[in-house]
Structure 1
Amino acid sequence: MAIPVVWIYWIFSLTVVTYVSAFIINRYREYGFAALVAFYTIYLTASQIVAARLIEFDLGFYTFFAPAAVFLYPFLSQAIDMINEVYGERKTHIAIIIAFITQVLFVIFIFMTNSLSPAPFFAYEDAWQGIFSQSIRIIIASWLSFLVFQNLDAYVFAWLKRKYPKQVFLRSASSDVISLTFDSLIFVVLAFYGVAPVVPLIIGQIVAKNLIGLLDTPWFIWYKRYLEDNPVTDRQ
C-alpha cells in the first residue's frame, strides 16, 4: 500500500527541523533559541493560512472533515516542547508572546494589502479575498485558543519535567494531548457556536490533532537523545 504523499512531506519536514534544531543548539547554543522561535513562528503562520482549506481525514474505519492545519498544530506543540526542554518555561512563554505578536502583525498586513485595489488583469481577486478575508470572530477565536493552549502546554510540560524528569515521552505526549484538546474546544466554540454544529467539529479536531500529536512524539525523543549524546558546547 502506497504511503499518502502528505505523510512523506510531514515526516521529511519534521525530521529536518528536529535535526537542524538539535544541531544548532549543540553547536551554537546562543543561536538555538532564535532558531526554534523562527521554526515555531513559521509553523504558526502556515497554520493560519492552510486552516482555510477543509480536508477529508480518512482513518480507514472512519472519515471526518477538519481544517488542513490539523497537520501543523502538533508541530507547534513539538516546537514549544523543544524550547521548554532546553531553555526552560520562562523563555517558552517569551517565545509564545513573540509568536503571538507576529500573528497580529500578519493579520494587520493582510488587512492592509486587502484594502488596496487589485490590478484589472489580476484574475484571482475573488479567490484571494475568499481565503484571506477571515471574520473578526474567527481571528479572535484563533488568537485566544492559541494563547491558552500554548501557555497550557508550556506549563504542563514544565510541571511534568520537574515531577518526572526521566519520563520524556510522558511530558511530551501528555502536554500535547491536554493542550491540543483545549485548543479544539476553545476555538470551535468561540468561532462557530450558533452558526455551525460545534460537536462534530470539536470531535474531528480533537481526534485529528491528538492522533498526529502522538505520532510526532518519537521525534521529540530523538531530539532529547541527540542532545544527551552530544553535550551542548559553545563554539564560535
Structure 2
Amino acid sequence: MDFPVVWIYWALSLTIVTYASAYIIRHHREYGYPALVGFYVVYLAASQVLAARFVEFDLGIAVFFAPAGVFIYPFLSQAIDMINEVYGEHKTHIAIGIAFLTQVLLVAFIVMTNTLTPAPFFAYESMWQDVFAQSLRIILASWVTFLVAQNIDAWIFARLKERYPNRVILRSASSDLFSLTVDSVIFVVIAFGGVAPLVPLIIGQIVAKNVVGFLDTPWFWWYKRYLEK
C-alpha cells in the first residue's frame, strides 16, 4: 500500500468516528458514553492485532521502524480524551477498565481456539500461529503498558482541564504526548529488554506514536467545537 493512501484511510476513519461520536452525544447523550467506549475498544483491539506487523514509518527526513499499530494506537488517547472531556475522569477510568477486560477476553479467545485442531484443508495454520501465538512476555507488556499509560493520560487531561478549562488543544496534545511517550518506553523495556536493542525501538515508537498523536489533535478540537454549537 502506498504511503499516501494510508493517510487517506487514516483521516477518513478518524473523521467518521469523531463526527459520529459528537453527533450521538449532541442528539442522544445517554448513548454517547457507550458509543465512545465501543470505539475505544475497537481501536484497542485493532492496535493489538496490527502490532504483529512491523512497517516503515517514513517522515521524509528519516525512516523509523515500528509496529503497524502505531497508526491506530494514538487514536486510543484521542478516544479517552473525548470521553474525559464530556463524561469526566471517573467514567474515563471505568472505560479504561472495560477496555482492559475486553483485551483479556480477546487473548483468552485466541488461546482457546488455537488449541483446536485445524481443518486439513486450512493451508495457513503455520502463518496463523506465527501471527497470533504471541509470547506471554509480549502480552504482559501490552497489558501493563495500557493500564499505566492510559490512566496517566486520563489523570493529566483532567488536571489540565481543571487548570486551563478553555485550552482544548493544550490538554489534548499534552496528555497524549506524555502518555504515548510513557507507553513506548514501558512496552519496549518489558517486551524486548535483554533480547533486542532497546534505544532504536524506543525512539521509533516514541516518534511514530507522537507524530500520529499530534496529527489527530485538530479532530479533537473539531469534536469540542461541534459539541459547543
- Indicate whether the TM-score tops 0.5: yes
Aligned to 2:172: 172
Partners of 1:132 and 1:140 lie apart in 2 by 15
Is the aligned partner of 1:117 residue 2:121?
Answer: no
1:3: Cα distance to partner? Answer: 7.0
1:61: Cα distance to partner? Answer: 1.2
Is the CA contact (8 Å cut-off) linking 2:40 and 2:76 kept in structure 1? yes
Q: Tell me the percent identity.
A: 72
Aligned to 1:233: none
Runs of 4+ deviating beyond 4 Å: none
What letter is aligned with 1:205? Q
Is the CA contact (8 Å cut-off) linking 2:64 and 2:208 kept in structure 1? no
> For 2:65, what is the secondary structure of its paired residue?
strand
Partners of 2:99 and 2:136 lie apart in 1 by 19
Aligned to 1:27: 27
> For 1:4, what is the secondary structure of its paired residue?
helix
Partners of 1:3 and 1:194 lie apart in 2 by 33
Is the CA contact (8 Å cut-off) linking 2:45 and 2:103 kept in structure 1? yes
What letter is aligned with 1:16? I
Partners of 2:131 and 2:17 lie apart in 1 by 28
Q: How many residues align?
A: 228
Partners of 1:3 and 1:192 lie apart in 2 by 28
State the TM-score, normalized to the length of structure 1: 0.96
- Structure 2 residues without counterparts, runs of 5 or longer: none
Partners of 1:62 and 1:23 lie apart in 2 by 39
> For 1:119, what is the secondary structure of its paired residue?
coil
1:64: Cα distance to partner? Answer: 1.4
Aligned to 1:196: 196
Partners of 1:216 and 1:61 lie apart in 2 by 21
Alignment of 1:133-212 (within 5 A): 133-212=133-212
| TM-align CA RMSD | 0.8
- Structure 1 residues without counterparts, runs of 5 or longer: 230-236
1:73: Cα distance to partner? Answer: 1.1
State the TM-score, normalized to the length of structure 2: 0.99
Partners of 2:4 and 2:167 lie apart in 1 by 32
Of structures 1 and 2, the one scoring higher in RCO (CA 8 A, sep 6+) is 1
